[in-house]
Amino acid sequence: MVKTMGDGLLLEFPSVVDATRCAIEVQEGMAARNADVADDRRVSFRVGINLGDIIIAP
């Protein structure tokens, strides 16, 4: 975990594949958690994945 921002997280993964796997597992876990919960009590969870080169200026 790199940083928390209110109810958000900034996470770093060694690869895009690892980040995608994590996102899928979290979404599947949330779907299972919400399966027997009333619509007005469900927790919504969104995931964004970004990939880019890191450039450090001198």
What ranges do the domains of the chain cover?
A: 3-38
pLDDT score at 19: 96
pLDDT for the residue 5: 87
How far is the CA of 52 from the CAs of 12, 14, 22, in angstroms?
12, 13, 18
Radius of gyration of the chain (CA): 15
State mean pLDDT over 24-32.
95
CA–CA dist 12, 51 (Å, integer): 10
Per-residue pLDDT at 53 exceeds 90: no
**pLDDT for position 7:** 87
- 0.85 surpassed by pTM: no
